[in-house]
Amino acid sequence: MLRISKETDYGIMVLGYLATHPRGQIHTARRIADWSGLSVPMVSKILRSLARESIVASHRGASGGYSLEKPAHETSVAQVIRVLEGPISLVQCGSEPGVCERERGCPTRVNWNRISLEVEQALERIPITEMLGRERAPLLSLGDSTAPAG
């Protein structure tokens, strides 16, 4: 079964919180944890990972915290997954070549890689702002390059 980890789900939630406030406004990990019901260590870990990849900006000092680095609609779900989970692939050999002794002659590898690419491209077209609403947004179909980018 293909699953997104809790950390990535929480990461989208944390970014959702930041996206609902004016860009540049600084928020502490504690404030975000209080809002989300998550632990401060979990929120801090997520924010540090997102800061390393310039999705959020870290602000030091007594009034420090975190803010979005760029407009929320410019950050895709795929970017968040790659930061918090690593490469997007449905099979291990797609993200870790050489782990399977059958890789060279595998009849399904090419197609699994093709499917993984389609999934990644679909996730790339979904900005985190579309993950915030309570209403159901229309789902993208794989290969739908005409879908709105946010």
Q: Is the pLDDT of residue 150 over 80?
A: no
Q: What is the dihedral of CA 148, 17, 72, 5, to 10 degrees?
A: -70
Read off the amino acid at residue 103.
E
- Domain segments of the chain as ranges: 6-68, 75-130
pTM: 0.82
* Burial status of residue 61 (CB atoms within 10 A of its CB: 0-12, 13-18, 19 or more): exposed
Mention the CATH class of domain 6-68: mainly alpha
Q: Is the pLDDT of residue 134 over 80?
A: no
pLDDT in tens, 81-108: 999 999 998 887 767 677 777 777 888 8
Distances (CA, A) of 91 to 77, 84, 103, 118, 119: 19, 18, 11, 13, 12
